[in-house]
Every structure is written in C-alpha cells, then in structure tokens.
Structure 1
Amino acid sequence: MLQNNQELKSKIDQLWNKFWSGGISNPLTAIEQITYLLFMKRMDDLDLQQQANAEWSEESYTSKFVGTWIPPEYRARKAESDTEADWQKKLEDEKKYEIEKSTLRWSEFKHRPAEDMLVHVRDKVFPFLKDLNGSESKFTHHMRNAALIISKSSLLVEAVKTIDEIYEVMEKDSAENGQAFQDIQGDVYEFLLNAIASAGKNGQFRTPRHIIKLIADLLQPKLGHRIADPACGSAGFLLGAYQYIVTDLAKQSDSGKLVTDEDGFFRTSVSSSLTESAKQTLQKSLWGYDIDSTMVRLGLMNLMMHGIDEPNIDYKDTLSKSYNQEGDYDIIMANPPFTGSIDKGDINESLKLGTTKSELLFVENIYRMLRKGGTAGVVIPQGVLFGSGKAFKELRQILVDRCDLKAVITMPSGVFKPYAGVSTAILIFTKVWDRQDKVLEPATKHTWFYNMTADGYSLDDKRQKQENHGDLQDIIAQYHARNPETDSADRIITDERKCFMVPYAEIVGEDSQYDLSISSYKKDVFDHVEYADPSDILERLIAAEVGDTSEAELSTIQGGILKELLELKGMIG
C-alpha cells in the first residue's frame, strides 16, 4: 500500500499541492485533471511496451500513435447531394487538419516549451485521447463533455515532470519489492480517489485492494464468466476480477514465474501471453455501472490504463426503473453505497423490499442481476446481518432461502479507515431460485462464518503494513476446505481457528429472524480463575505492613492502614 512508500506518497502530495496552488482546489476536479495526465502517460507507456512485446514475439501490433489523426469536427462528411467532385474537395480540405499521431505521445510533447506544450496538449493531445476508441465507443461517449481545464502552462509543466517522477518511483518499487507495477499504480490511483471518499460522498468508500483480491480468490471467476459491479466507482472490483483471471491463465501456462505480492496473493496483469480469442473474451466479460458521470470516466480510464481497450462501463442507476437487466451475470463483486436513501418513486418495481435504504436494495438487486447458479461477493455494513426491521429480515430470508448463502465473513471496523469506521462484512451467496420460483426447499443447508480480526494492516488511521498477512490467506484456505460435518460442532473462536458452520434451521431460528450475526452462534469460553482465601490475603497485607515492627509497638498502634487491616482480620476470623 502507498503508506509504505513514503517517497511515492511525497511525490503525490507534491502533485496535489501544485494543482491547489495552480487554482484547481476542488478534489474531484483535481482528480479528473490528474487522471487525464496519468492516462496520457500510461497510454504512451503501454503502446511502447506492446510494440516491444510484438517485436520480441514476432507478432503483429498496430500502434495507436502511428499515422495521422483528424479531429472529429474537421472530418469530411458526405451529403446525399454531393457530386464526386464535391466529395473529393472535402477530402482534400480534410487533409489540412491532419495531425501526426507521433506528436501526441507523452514522450514527445513533454519536451516542448511551456506555452507550446499547453496549447498542444489542450487542443490536440486531449481531443485525440477522447476519440481514442472511435466515435461509437462508450469511452468516447462518456468523454464527450470532458474538458482539460489546466490554464497555466507552468502548472502543466510541473505536473508532467512530477508524474514522470512518480512513474520512476513506481518502477523502482516494482523492481525492488516485487510488487506488480499495476498494483503500485492502483495504489496511486486509490490515493487520489481517497479525496472523494474522505467526504463520504453518497456513502461510497474505496475498497482496499487486498479485500478485492480476497473476494476474487473466494469467488474464483473464470474466463468466459460475465462479471458485473452495479456500483463500480473507479472499477476496482472489475480490475480485481480481470487480474485474477489473467493470473489463473498464467498459472496454467507457467506458474514458476509468479511470486506472491505483499498481501500473499499471486497476481499479474500481464496479458500479452493471452491468445487473441482469450483477450476478446475478457473484453466482453466485465460490466460496470455508476450514477456518477465522473466516476464512470475514471473507471473507464482505470481499466484502459491496465490494458483493457474497450471497457463496458456505463452511466446508469441500477436501482432505478431504467435498469431492467435480470439474470445476466455469472459473478458479481461489489461494495455498494452503505448510506443514504433512494427516491421511492424511482425504485425499480422488480425490487420488492419495502425500504428506501440503499444497502438493502443493492443486495436485493444483486440477487436479481445474478443468473441461476451465479455467485456474488458483496461488502455490506454489519447492521444488515441482524437489523430487526421487516426489510432487513426479508432480505436475509432471500439470501438464505432463495440463495445458497455460502459465507458470512465479518471484518474489523478499521478496514475502511481512515475514511470510515463502520464495521463491515462480506457475503458470499449463489442464486438458486428466481423470485418467481416456488422454493421447493431452502437453498442454504449450512453457512460458514469467519471472524476476521486482522487484514495485514494496522487498524488505525495510518493503516501501516504489518509483518504478516493477517487472516486473508487463512480465510481463503478455510473457506475452500469447509466441511459441515467437521466445522459445525466446535464454535469456539480462538487465535488459531476463527470459523465454523451453522445449519439452516438454527439460522432461521424459532422467531424466523434469519439472524446472520456471528455473535449469535459462537461459544464464549470463560477461564476458571482461582482466588486466594480472603484471610490469606489479609495475612500477606498485614505482614507487608508490619515489617520489622515489634509486638510492643503493635499494641500501641492507634490508627492508619495497619490498624484497619487488623480490625478487618478480627471481623472475618
């Protein structure tokens, strides 16, 4: 995590300060502008890397920066009334606006004089990046209203210089500490986005990457699965699923090249060894939605900076009447907004819970979005596990009766610090019955509970990396090895074992509350403590007070502690 690389953190702080002093002080606006520059840098680096890989492997690759580009507003458009001569004249006029793509590279324009750089980046480079995937792409559609508002050439020059330095530190960290470059870049991106999360905007909080990796290892998405996040933000979960799949494919081909990262996970984002068919399948596998247009743009760029050319991220409120997809996805990974209420009049009629609480509606919606046999891993506030309201109970009934609720993993409140202190949990469930189906038998037979007490980082605001990985790898190992016959009997939580299974009948309970709080099922163990007899304790206290006092002196004691101790001894015998 970024907190453990002070040099990198310092560089990013410098970048923030430059934007602040340059007149761009709104955090969300600054993040957008910084992300555009990071995107320019990353696109150039990725293109050069892919060219080198293609030369090494003797495969074909067409650079994004080869040839010429004409801005959309100057492209010739043929009218029905145009003669051939008219059309040729338009094509000739169009050539006046051709721009050599090679001049749009970061590595080229960063050497230009300050004023020239600003005009070039604002009027040519940025419009080119907005048009990068063609006029029909989602990226171009969502970037249509994006604007580069850096107006001071000095700010642009300093920002470009600092971003180059940030990338140098990332490369150094990757080489020296064995952490994947993409993960370090994720740290930088996460750090920038934290400025939004710190304000608790719409209850959104960035999910720590090691928690995303944990959920991916629990769900084990495969190539060909349709994977979604209905409140994707900066697309961290989609990226996590992508990296898990790429890593799984890399393990199958050559596991010897992979090493564990700082959290104990095997991860790589290098997809150059994938077949073209696998790449196309991956491109069509990831689907994200968000109600914030800025986050949609950030999510699109985040995935594109990790080598996903055409991400399927769209502006959409998945709880609203306008979203009608149902039963479409094999895997859903999400950390939906925890707080706030939805406008009752706009809630999709397919959502039947009588509530406007977003945390409940999102879980119900995730159930709706899953196909039969599809599995979800969702972060929720722990209140969902035991809330006494009608909607809380009805949601838990859906999870237990209509889904196979595989796991409830409670997490300590520090996991989301310093941005939130809320206690959270992870739900893992597989859809068995659609809402219109009659439940012939409850889908859940047993639910596995795990009490996470450590995630490998300090649970205070600093979130410093600890020497071990906390419970992360144990959770994965215990989950995949869970067994109702062996894990149900002993529910005593210890430092060595923090999990157990609970049968369906006990979860439903006599009062049909479908309680999912781990505290309702774990057994508390009380140590038997032997205390000395009171008279023995008094003897020791008196002996300590007496010391070298003679019998004659004792008889003359008129007050003080010793006199009171002697009187107390006389009272108890």
Structure 2
Amino acid sequence: MITGELKNKIDSLWDIFAAGGLVNPLEVIEQITYLMFIHDLDDSDNKRAKESAMLGLSYQSIFAELIKIGDREIAGENLKWSVFHDFPAQKMYATMQEWVFPFIKTLHDDKNSAYSKYMDDAIFKLPTPLVLSKVIDSLDEIYKLMNAAKQATDKTELDIRGDVYEYLLSKIAQSGRNGQFRTPRHIIRMMVELMRPQADDIICDPACGTSGFLVTASEYLKEKYKEEIFFDKQKKAHYMSQMFFGYDMDRTMLRIGAMNMMTHGVESPFIEYKDSLSEQNADKDKFSLVLANPPFKGSLDADSVSPDLLKVCKTKKTELLFLALFVRMLKIGGRCACIVPDGVLFGSSKAHKSIRKEIVENQRLEAVISMPSGVFKPYAGVSTGILIFTKTEHGGTDNVWFYDMTADGFSLDDKRTPVEQNDIKDIIERFHNRNAEVNRARTEKSFFVPKQEIADNDYDLSINKYKEIEYEKIEYPPTEEIINKIMKLDAQITNDLADLKTML
C-alpha cells in the first residue's frame, strides 16, 4: 500500500475533482482512468519506437503525421500527453474534448492498444479548462513520484501503479445499485489463498465490479509461480489473455475493472459487458475456478433469467441464482469460493433448500466460513459467509468443515480501524490442514459436520445450527447468606448517614 507524499498527492488530486463539482467516486475514478490511459498511450508508443529503433525494425506510431476525426485533420503529435500538457489551459481543454477523446475511441481496431476496446463510449466530464489543467499537473506529479518510488524500492513499475490504483479504488465509499459494494481486499486475499490458484487455471468472476478477485488472483500467481508462468511462452500467453474472465452490467465498473487488471500487468483480460444470469451468458463447463461476491439485494424478472438456472432453483433472488450459475459455469473438478448472505445458509424457502441440496448432494461442499456482520462496514452491516465447493456432478460431500470467524484484523464498526484480533491466518492454516481438524469439538472455532446431519437439518448450513456453546456453571451463595449481607450493608449505610448528619 502506498504511503507518504504519493498518498497525499492522490488525495490532492481527489480534492481538485471535488472542487470542480465531480464528487461521485465512480465518476472521478473513471475520469482518472481515461487520463491514465491517455498518458500511457504516449509512454507505450515512445517505448515501442525506441525498442524498434534498437532492433532495426520499422515502427508506425499511432500518432501518425495527421489524425482525421470526422472531416477535420490534426497533427497526431498534438494528441500526445507530453505535448498537449504544455498547452495553455483553454487550448488543452479544447484539444482533449474535441480531439483526444474522439481519438481514443477510434483505437479499437489497433492491436497495439489493449486498453482501447474499453474506451469506445468514454465521455469527457471535466467541467472547465482550469480543472483539467490542475488535474493534468497533479497526474504529472503523481507519475514522477511513482517513478521515484520504483527506484527507491524493489517494486516494479506495475507494482507501484497497482498500489496507486488500489488506493483510488479504496475511495469508493458508497453502496452501488443492486447491492453492489466493494469487497475488502484482505477478505479477497484470504479467499484466494484458500483456493490457491494454479498456473493453468481459467478464473472467472461473473459479477466482477472493479475486478478485485481477478487482480488478487493474478498477484498471487505472480508471487507463487513467477518463473513457471513468465519464463514459459505458452503459460505467459495464457496468463495475459486467456486466464481471467470478468462480467458486469455497469460499464463504468467494466472500464475501471479492466484498467485495474491492466495496471496490475494482465495485458488483455476478458472483461465484458454481460448479464451473467440471463440467456446472454451461455458459459457452461468452462472455468476451473470461480471467485465471486455476487449482488445480494437484487431481484430479477423470472422471464429474464436463463431457464437452466431456474430448473435448479426457481426464484428471483440473485444470490441464489448466482450459486446455480457458478455450478453451471465450472468444469468438472472446478472449484468455487463465493461470499453469500447468511440467509442463503439457513433460508427456509423451497429455492433456498434446493440450491443447498444441489451443492451438498450433487457437488462436493468442502467448507462454510461464517464471517461477522461488521466485515462489510461502512457499506453494509449484513452478516455473510463463504462457501467453498467443487463441481463433481456426482456428489462427494462427506464431512463439511465449519469455521466461526469472529475477527478480521479490523474493528467491526463503521470506522474499521486496525485491531490485533485476526482469524484470517488461522483460517488459511486450518483449511489447508483439515486432516488435523477431525477430532475438534464443536465448542471450538472450527469443526467438521457429517453430510447426513446436514441433510437431516434441511441442508441448513448456518454454523449456529451445529456449534455447541459451553456454559460455565456459576456457584452462588445460599439466598439466606445473600440477604444477610444486604442487611449488613444496609445497616452500615444507615450508620454512616447518621454520622454524617451529626457533622452538619
């Protein structure tokens, strides 16, 4: 995570947008995303030109001698960040609005620009030349600090840029539509470490938002399998363009999510606009790993939902439909770790029971991790759990591992300040060493529950159904003894009051 001067500069950049009237965090990040893209176009073009010159190869710059927008033409050089950032504010604003933004929308056929397909409906929203000028100057300072941070640490340029973008995303402090809210990064990291992605996985988040799960999975793979992936041409190509899939119905989120992935070094993630629950999504038996925190509060028109999902559980509740979707999207042997509201674990409706039965009886349910209600504050106070299962289509659930998580390293109020209590390390260690969990009593933080017991309880997966609470027996003195003590205290009070009265 970034600190110090760089963090202060980003806060100052945020203040510039606020002073200019742009206060919606998603809009601010979206505009910063566009500007970072425009800055990076210049950098990457210069880098490729230098590399081609060193190798003696010809190179056609995307900033050709003349750029045509409609019936007008302009020297391509004027659209480069390194050129227009020195223009007077009014000219810079006109160049950005009339030329640069239309130009980036024409790049979708340019194979050299992985970013461009996410920019074809970009809208320039900075209100005045003065605001744009201040934002450009601020971003120039941020890039200088990023370069300085790279030289002063052992981090790469991508690491620094990733940290900056994560800090920007941390400023999304309000709930979105349909129950969207930002999943805490330490919870995402825990889920990724529980699943331990492999170099040959195909990973999907069908409700990806800002791509937090995909980014964290990509970072985990870089940490654990750097040589295996990046020193092998085929595996590197898989990592860069065939491993990560994310869908969302919010185009702003898609742009931010795509930029987040690319900022973290994944060149061509498959981040697409798609209604995951509709017939528009035909993915079946495709992915080896699903990581997701799907919308909780949404309710859909049954006519818009894919019929094969309704066969598993006939409902309008998105949290149940997404579980059915995960099962459908996974390959045989594919694994899933997903966050669900507590109601999914114990809901008594036919749809609730049917999706739980599907996962317990037809797939292999491995773990249920109960999380405290404060984990998603200040966005929401809902109690949640994590389900971990493997698609088998022929059962395999034997004993299900339950964990009662009570602390995640932060206070469980709206402030979410760091605290010492944290179960995350323990959860990861116990999950990956479940053989040692067999004899744990149900009074402990984690324990196993046999499948048959779960089935006998209508497939209830709430931990309170199975956890045993030890009540400590307290011995009280006989009633007569307590009354005598009260009478003695009463007499003492009376005497003390009498003494006080004589002193007045």
1:382-440: CA deviations, max 9, x gaps?
Answer: 1100000000000000111111111111111111111111111111110000xxxxx4x
Query: Following the alignment from structure 2 to structure 1, what is the Cα–Cα distance between the partners of residues 143 and 418?
Result: 22
Residue in 1 that maps onto 2:197: 221
- 2:128 aligned to 112, 129, 152, which one? 152
- The amino acid of 1:379's aligned partner reads I
Counterpart residue type for residue 126 of structure 2: I
1:363 aligned residue: 323
Task: Write out aligned runs for 1:468-483 (5 A).
Answer: 470-483=422-435
**8 Å Cα contact 2:398-2:450 kept in structure 1:** yes
- Over 3 Å counting, the alpha-carbon distance change for 1:462 and 1:230 in structure 2 is same
Cα 1:160–1:139, aligned 2, differ >3 Å: closer, same or farther?
Answer: closer
SS across alignment from 2:267: coil
Partners of 1:190 and 1:303 in 2: CA distance: 13
Aligned partner (choices 279, 283, 300) of residue 325 of structure 1: 283
Decide which of 70, 76, 87 is 1:99's aligned counterpart. 76
SS state of the match for residue 238, structure 1?
A: helix
C-alpha offsets along residues 463-490 of structure 1, whole Å, 9 cap, x if unaligned? 223346x11111111100002x743551
Matched, 1:116 2:73: no
- Quickly say closer, same or farther: Cα 1:178–1:67, change in 2 above 3 A: closer
In structure 2, the partner of 1:490 is 441
The one-letter code sitting in structure 2 at the alignment partner of 1:152 is T
- Residues 356/390 of structure 1: CA separation in 2 closer, same or farther (3 Å cut): same
Offset, 1:112: 3.4
* 2:357 aligned with 1:397: yes
- Cα shift at 1:541: 3.6
Residue 147 of structure 1, CA deviation: 2.0
Q: Does the aligned pair in 2 maintain the 1:47–1:63 contact within 8 Å?
A: no
Structure 2 residue aligned with 1:134 = 109
Matching of residue 204 in structure 1 with residue 185 in structure 2: no
- What amino acid does structure 2 have at the position aligned with 1:491? R
Taking the TM superposition and a 5 Å limit, the aligned residue runs for 1:35-434 are 35-41=33-39, 68-69=63-64, 99-100=76-77, 106-131=81-106, 134-135=109-110, 139-166=115-142, 181-182=160-161, 184-192=163-171, 194-195=172-173, 198-250=174-226, 274-282=231-239, 283-351=241-309, 352=311, 353-433=313-393
Classify the secondary structure of the residue corresponding to 2:237: helix
SS in 1 for 2:247: strand
State the Cα distance separating 1:530 from its structure 2 match. 1.6
In the alignment, the residues of structure 2 paired with residue 532 and residue 316 of structure 1 have an alpha-carbon distance, to the nearest angstrom, of 68
Matched, 1:506 2:453: yes
Q: Is the 8 A contact 2:162 2:264 kept in 1?
A: no
Asked if structure 2 preserves the Cα contact closer than 8 Å seen for 1:377 and 1:427, the reply is yes
Once the two structures are superposed, residues 232-268 of structure 1 have per-residue CA deviations (whole angstroms, 9 ceiling, x without a partner) of 1111111111111111113x67xxxxxxxxxxxxxxx
Aligned CA distance change for structure 1 residues 310 and 530 (closer, same or farther; 3 Å): same
Q: After superposition, what is the alpha-carbon deviation per residue over 1:109-164, rounded to whole angstroms, capped at 9, x for unaligned?
A: 43433223223333444445445563578854442221223241110111123334
Q: Is the 8 A contact 1:50 1:61 kept in 2?
A: no
Change (3 A) 1:130 1:23: same
Change (3 A) 1:38 1:341: same
| 8 Å Cα contact 2:409-2:419 kept in structure 1 | yes
Equivalent residues of 1:234, 1:298 under 8 A apart: yes
CA gap 1:138/1:14 in 2 versus in 1, 3 angstroms: closer
The answer on whether the counterparts of 1:286 and 1:311 sit within 8 Å (CA) in structure 2 is: yes
Q: Distance in 2 between matches of 1:61 and 1:110?
A: 31
- Give 1:285 deviation, angstroms: 0.7
Whether contact under 8 Å (1:130, 1:139) holds in the other structure is: no
* Distance (whole Å) between structure 2 residues aligned to residue 450 and residue 227 of structure 1: 25
Q: Quick one: distance in 1 between partners of 2:375 and 2:146? A: 24
For 1:406, give the aligned amino acid.
E
Match status 1:443 vs 2:396: yes
Alignment partners' CA distance in 2, 1:443 and 1:457: 36
State how far apart, in whole Å, the 2-side matches of 1:385 and 1:71 are. 61
Cα distance, 1:451 vs structure 2: 1.1
* Pair 1:398–1:206, CA change in 2 (3 A): same
Identify the residue that residue 502 of structure 2 maps to in structure 1: none
Q: TM-score of the superposition, structure 2-length normalised?
A: 0.85
Please tell me the residue identity of whatever aligns with 2:64: W
Distance of 2:211 and 2:363 partners within structure 1: 26
Structure 1 segments unaligned to the other structure (5+ residues): 76-92, 254-270, 434-438, 558-573
CA-to-aligned-CA distance 1:197-232 (integer Å, 9 cap, x gap) = x14411111111111111111111111211111111
Mapped partners of 2:47, 2:110: distance in 1: 26
Larger Rg: 1
Is 442-451 or 65-74 further displaced after alignment?
65-74
State TM-score, norm by structure 1: 0.75
Closer, same or farther in 2 for the Cα pair 1:162/1:347, shift >3 Å? same
Compared with structure 1, are the counterparts of its residues 514 and 487 closer, same or farther at alpha carbon in structure 2 (3 Å cutoff)?
A: same
* Equivalent residues of 1:46, 1:307 under 8 A apart: no
User: What is aligned with 2:416?
Assistant: 463
Cα pair 1:47 1:64 within 8 Å, conserved: no
Q: Please, which runs of 5 or more residues in structure 2 have no aligned partner?
A: 499-504
Counterparts in 2 of 1:388 and 1:110: CA distance versus 1, 3 Å: same
Identity %: 40
Cα offset, 1:462, TM superposition:
1.7
Of stretches 308-317 and 178-187 in structure 1, the one that deviates more from structure 2 is: 178-187
Counterpart among 447, 467, 490 of residue 522 in structure 1: 467
Partner letter of residue 393 of structure 1? Answer: K
Amino acid across the alignment from 2:32: I
In 2, Cα distance between the equivalents of 1:508 and 1:47? 61
Q: Secondary structure at the match of 2:333?
A: strand
Q: Which amino acid aligns with 1:235?
A: S
Closer, same or farther: CA 135–375 of 1 in aligned 2, 3 Å: same
Shift in CA distance, 403/303, structure 1 to aligned 2, threshold 3 Å: same
Cα contact 2:165–2:263 (8 A) shared by 1: no
SS in 1 for 2:170: helix
Distance in 2 of aligned mates of 1:62 and 1:287: 34
Decide whether the 8 Å contact of 2:162 with 2:263 is kept in 1.
no
Shift of the alpha carbon at 1:14?
4.0
What's the Cα RMSD here? 3.7
The count of residues paired between Structure 1 and Structure 2 equals: 489
